[in-house]
Structure 1
Amino acid sequence: MSRLLVVAPNFKRRLSGVTSTIIQLVPLQARAIGIATLGPGLPPSLPAMKWRQVASLWRRPLGARFRVWHARRNVEMLAGVVLRDVLRMPLKLLFTSASQREHTGWTRFLIRRMDAVVATSRKTAAYLTVPNTVVMHGIDTARFHPAADRADAATAVGLNAQQLYVGCFGRVRRQKGTDLFVDAMIALLPHHPRWSAVIAGRATAQHKAFEDELRARVAAAGLSDRILFVGEHRDIERWYRALSLFVAPQRWEGFGLTPLEAMASGVPVVATDVGAFSELILEGETGTVIPADDVEAMRMAIEPYMADPDTAFADGRRGRAHVEANFGLDREADRLIRIYKDLLLPG
C-alpha cells in the first residue's frame, strides 16, 4: 500500500464496458505506476486492494502527498468524495465520463467536485460543463487481430467455412438495435446466398421477450439457419476473426468499443452515428457511418460489401492499420498515466 498511487474502483459486479476498460488498462498501467483495483467482478490476476485496506488510504504513499481515485461511475465518484471530504483521506479525484446526454443535477454535483475530468470523445466533452481532457479508448491489438485464414477462423468457432459472415455483437436489447440488424439481414440474405449473420450477446431476463420475438421473426422468414444467435462469449475475439463485416446498429451508446474491436480484427464496420463511432471510423476507408434507427440506411450501407467481398477485405485491412496507428491500448494507458502524474505533483 505504501507504493500505491492510483486506485481504480469498480463497484459493479456484472461485466460492462467500464469493467472491460479496467480489465484491459490496469495491467498496462501497473508496469509504470503503482495502481490497484477495488471492488468485485474483476479477474484475480489484476493488482487489487482489499476492502479492509481502505483505511490505509489515510496514510500518504511513499514520495507523494496524494493518491488518485479514478472513478468511472457516479457511485465511485460519491465514494471518492466521501473518502476525501468526509474522512479526510489525501486523495485527488479523477472521473472518466463516457455519457452523451445531459447530466442529471446529481451527476453535475459530483463532477464539480472532481479534481480532473476525462471525456472519452469530443461528443462526450460537449456535454461537460467543467474543464476536461479527451482521452479516447484504445484496444488491445494483440488480442484483437486479423485471422490468418478466415475460413479456419470460422471453423474454429463452429461456423460454416464456406460462408461469409456479418456480425452484430453486444447485449440483445432494443437500445443496441439488434432488431434493426435482424430486419436488415432478413431483407438482404435471400439475395446474397454466400453470406450469413451472427448475433453474439446475452439477453438479460427483462429483454428475453425481445430476443424471443426476434428469433420468431427470423424463423418466419425461413432464415434460422443463416441468422444465428450464438449467445455470450468471453473469447469474443475469436468470433470477430470469423467475420467479413461487422455492424454496430445501436440507437444509443456511450462510447462503444465494438467498432474498434472489429477493425483491429481486420473487419470493416457499418455503424450508426451514436457514441464515438463517427470519431473511430474513417468514412469510405474502414467502413461507413449511418443515421441511427434507420434500417433502410443500414441495408443500403451493408449491401455493397455483400455484393463485393473484396471491398470488405480491403477496408478491413485499412481498419487494422487505422487502429494500430491511432487506438492502441498502450496509447490510452500512457495518456491516463500522464494525467495521474499531473494530479500527484505537489501543489
Structure 2
Amino acid sequence: MKLSKPKMLVFSHICSPQYVTGAEKLLLFMVRELLPSFACTLVVPNEGIIAVNARKLGITVIVHQIPLVVPLYLGLSHMTNEIGAHQQDPLWLQLIQLIHHERPSIIIANTCVHPMPAIAGKMLGIPVVWTVMEAIRETPHTALAASIIEQYSDYIVGISETTLAPLRTPGMIPKSSLIPPSWHQSELNPESWQQHRINRRRQLAIADEQRLVGYISSSIFEAKGLEHFMQMAVNSAEQHPHAMYLIVGNPVDQGYFEKCIGIARDRGLMERFRWIRFEEQVETVYPAMDVLVVPSLTVEGFGMTALEGMVFGKPVVVYGSGGLSEIGRATGNEAYVVPMGDTEGLTLRVSSLLANEAMMQAIGARNAQAAHEVYGVNAYRDRLRRFIATLAIRGYYPPTVLKGSAPTIYKFDNGVLRPLRSARSFRRAGHRLEEIREVPDVYIAAWPKGAPIGTAYRSRRKGRKRLAGRAGKIGRRRNGVRKQGSLKRRRQPGRQRNRARGAKKKR
C-alpha cells in the first residue's frame, strides 16, 4: 500500500504580477525541492508570477489575502499592537478557517513580515517552520521581534548567518537551521549563454571590444544603491573609454531613479549607459555583462544577485552588507568586498578589472567554480535532507474541547464552538478533563459560536420547581455544579433531611 506524503501549507507574503523578488524566488525553489517529501500547497495573497510558475510544477495554489506585519521586520515597538489589531480583523477568522479546512501536517511561514500564518498554525497545534530571508533591523525592540518568532515557530530556517544572528537565543539555537539558496543549473541553459551575449549586446548596441559593467535589482529604490553605482560608473568611465554601463530593474521611486540618472547626464555621459526593466529570464542578461556590481546599502539577508553573477562566471564587486560579505568569504572573493558606502573603493575594484582583461576572465571562472562548490544544488539538497530528518510530522488534530482564560468550556463542532453549560453536559458528551486544551482568548474569539450543549444549572430554591415542570422526576435528581466546575454532593431527599433535623433538635 502506497503511503501518501504529509501535507505542507506554504505561505508566501507576496506574489508580484510584474517581477519576482528574491524572497519569492528562494521560496519557490525550496518548495520545489520539498516536493519529493511533501504534498505542498502554496498560499499567495494575489495572482502573480510565482503562482503561475508553481502551477506549472504541479503545485496547488490558493489565493488568500493575509495582512503583513512590517514592524516585526523593522523592529518597531508597536509590532504586538499591530498583530493584535489583525486578530480582530475578519481576515484572521478566514485564515484560521482556511488552515482548518486544508488540515496540513506542517506549515511554512515565509519572511519576518508574515507572522499571522505562524500564529494561526501554532494555535491549531500544527508544527510551524518559519523561514527567515531578511535580517531584522537592529533597534531597542529587536529582542521583542525575536521573542515573537520564537513563540510561534517550531523550526527556523535562515538563508544566512546574518538572518539568523538576531535569533541566536538559547531557546532558538536548537531549532534553527542554516540553508543558503541554490539554483538549478540546467534551467539556466548554459549552452545558450554565448548566443544570449551576442543577441543582448546587439540589442543594447554594445560592441565586442567594449566591456559592460552591470547593475541589476528587481526593484530599484534607495537602499539598493543605484546612486552609488552611478557615482562609480561616471568616475571609472573617464579612466576607461571602452567601458559601458547597464542598469536592469524596475524603479519603485521614480524621483530617486531620475536623480541617479542625472549623475550621468550632468557629466555628459548618457551615451555610455543603457537601461532595461526587470527581466525574469536572467540567463538572457547576465551573459552580456563583463562585471557585476552590487552596491546594496541595507543589510542583505543573502544577496542572490551576487551569487547569480558568480554562477554566470562574472567578477562580482559588492558592498560588505550582511549576506553579501558571507558570500565573499565563502567563495574566496573577499578582495572584491568593499566597505558599505565606499564609492571610491567600488571605483578602484571595477577599474582594476577593466584594466586587466586576463584577470577579469580568471576571476569570473574562479567565481563560477566556487559558487558551485559552496552553493550548488547538491550542497543544498544535503542541507535540506538533514533538516527534513529533524521534523516531527504529525497529522492535523483539531481540538475537541477547549477553553480560554474564562471558565467556559467549548466543544469544537465542525468549525463552530459550542459552550458546554454544565459539568454534567461535559460528562454526557463523553469528555474527560484531560482532553481540555487551553488556548489563547484570540483563538476563542476567532471561531463562530454555536448553540450551547446541555441545560444550565439553576439555583437550589427555584431549580427543582422549574425543572420539574419541564422534565418531571429528572429535575429532582439533578446534580449541582460548583463555580469552579467540580460537582457538589447530591442533596438529601426531603424525608431523610427532616429526620436529620429532628435528631439534631433532640440532641
Is the structural similarity TM-score above 0.5?
yes
Q: Which residue of 1 aligns with 2:364?
A: 316
Q: Which residue of 2 aligns with 1:48?
A: 60
Q: Which amino acid aligns with 1:94?
A: V
How many angstroms apart in 2 are the aligned matches of 1:5 and 1:126?
30
Q: Which amino acid aligns with 1:339?
A: F
Q: Which amino acid aligns with 2:150?
A: R
Q: Which residue of 2 aligns with 1:263?
A: 310
Q: Which amino acid aligns with 2:364?
A: G
- Of 89, 110, 114, 1:72 maps to 110
- Greater CA radius of gyration, 1 or 2? 2
Contact 1:9 1:37 in 2 (8 A): yes
Displacement of 1:224: 1.2
* 1:162-200 CA distance string (max 9 Å, x none): 221110111322211110110011001122122101010
Q: Which residue of 2 aligns with 1:26?
A: 31
Q: Which amino acid aligns with 2:60?
A: A
Q: Which amino acid aligns with 2:13?
A: F
How many angstroms apart in 2 are the aligned matches of 1:270 and 1:202?
21
How many angstroms apart in 2 are the aligned matches of 1:156 and 1:265?
19
Displacement of 1:106: 5.3
Q: Which amino acid aligns with 1:116?
A: Y
Q: Which residue of 2 aligns with 1:36?
A: 41
Q: Which residue of 1 aligns with 2:259?
A: 213
Displacement of 1:144: 4.3
Q: Secondary structure at the match of 1:254?
A: coil
- By relative contact order (CA 8 Å, sep 6+), the higher-ranking structure is 1
- Do structure 1's residue 246 and structure 2's residue 296 form an aligned pair? no
Displacement of 1:212: 0.7
Displacement of 1:275: 2.4
Q: Which residue of 2 aligns with 1:136?
A: 180
- Do structure 1's residue 8 and structure 2's residue 29 form an aligned pair? no
Contact 2:213 2:245 in 1 (8 A): yes
- Do structure 1's residue 99 and structure 2's residue 147 form an aligned pair? no
- Do structure 1's residue 293 and structure 2's residue 341 form an aligned pair? yes
Q: Which residue of 2 aligns with 1:158?
A: 204
Displacement of 1:7: 1.9
- Of 218, 227, 239, 1:191 maps to 239
Q: Which amino acid aligns with 2:128?
A: L
How many angstroms apart in 1 are the aligned matches of 2:178 and 2:368?
23
- Do structure 1's residue 122 and structure 2's residue 124 form an aligned pair? no
* 1:176-231 CA distance string (max 9 Å, x none): 11101100110011221221010101111xx1101111222211212112122222
How many angstroms apart in 2 are the aligned matches of 1:202 and 1:60?
36
Q: Which amino acid aligns with 2:223?
A: Q
Q: Secondary structure at the match of 2:340?
A: coil
- Of 196, 215, 227, 1:179 maps to 227
Contact 1:10 1:38 in 2 (8 A): yes
**Alpha carbons of structure 1 residues 12 and 92: separation in structure 2 relative to 1, 3 Å:** same
Displacement of 1:292: 0.3
Which stretch shifts more, 132-141 or 249-258? Answer: 132-141
**Alpha carbons of structure 1 residues 261 and 156: separation in structure 2 relative to 1, 3 Å:** farther
Where does the alignment leave 5 or more consecutive residues of structure 1 unmatched?
Answer: none
Displacement of 1:316: 0.7
**Alpha carbons of structure 1 residues 143 and 312: separation in structure 2 relative to 1, 3 Å:** farther
TM-score, normalising length: structure 2: 0.61
Displacement of 1:16: 2.2
Q: Which residue of 1 aligns with 2:374?
A: 326
**Alpha carbons of structure 1 residues 151 and 81: separation in structure 2 relative to 1, 3 Å:** closer
- Do structure 1's residue 280 and structure 2's residue 318 form an aligned pair? no
Which stretch shifts more, 45-54 or 209-218? Answer: 45-54
**Alpha carbons of structure 1 residues 308 and 201: separation in structure 2 relative to 1, 3 Å:** same
Q: Which amino acid aligns with 1:6?
A: M
How many angstroms apart in 1 are the aligned matches of 2:281 and 2:215?
15
Contact 2:121 2:127 in 1 (8 A): no
Return the structure number with greater helix share.
2
* 1:15-49 CA distance string (max 9 Å, x none): 42211112333223213432221113323341024
Q: How many matched pairs?
A: 337
Identical residues among aligned pairs (%): 21
Aligned Cα root-mean-square deviation (Å): 2.8
Contact 1:273 1:290 in 2 (8 A): yes
Q: Secondary structure at the match of 1:99?
A: coil
TM-score, normalising length: structure 1: 0.86
* 1:75-132 CA distance string (max 9 Å, x none): 53322221331xx2x5211112233333646532431121011222123322212212
Where does the alignment leave 5 or more consecutive residues of structure 2 unmatched?
Answer: 65-93, 396-507
Contact 2:373 2:379 in 1 (8 A): no
